[in-house]
Amino acid sequence: MRHHATCHPSRLNYGHGLCTACYHKQWKSTRKATCHPDKEHKAKGLCANCYRRYLRSLRPDKPHGPTSLKRRHKMSEEEYQRKLSTQNNKCALCNEPPSGPYRLSVDHNHSCCPGINHCANCTRDLLCASCNVQLGMYEKFKDNPDLVARFEAYITKHTVV
């Protein structure tokens, strides 16, 4: 059975005898990150972005580590490195190197294998995260001219001249 908060007896206790709203005001807002004092503490004294980076550093084989490459793209680490080398360690679209600790993503033809795992035939080139997401959106919406027109109208409506 959950106890009621001391600050607002009609509400349930979230922590330290306080309701959710009071807990966040008193405890969350006062805890600043040591990495970026202007941001809130997420965990281990780090802001949300630095904490995410910390978690990724614990798992350097993700998202496209040897097992993930093999399972999802039927590609070995050697094949990935060969493809990366032929692209001069740069994204195939924007021609920029990957930012920070991130690896380039393996792009694939979604119409061939729409699920999570793909065959070896639909693998294309290696893309940075930004280009990979943008290409995915382009492929998703390119055949819907009505939606593309609505996107353009929305951007035009909110363009500052």
pLDDT in tens, 52-100: 777 777 665 555 455 667 777 778 888 888 999 999 999 999 999 988 7
Segment among 36-45, 103-112, 141-150 with least mean pLDDT = 36-45
In the chain, the domains with their CATH numbers are 66-135 (3.40.1800.10)
- pLDDT value, residue 150: 87
Q: At what angle do helices 129-141 and 145-157 cross, to 10 degrees?
A: 120
Positive or negative CA dihedral for 76, 81, 82, 84?
A: positive
- pLDDT value, residue 85: 92
pTM of the model: 0.52
- Answer whether 135's CB lies under 8 Å from 107's CB: yes
Q: At what angle do helices 66-73 and 77-86 cross, to 10 degrees?
A: 90
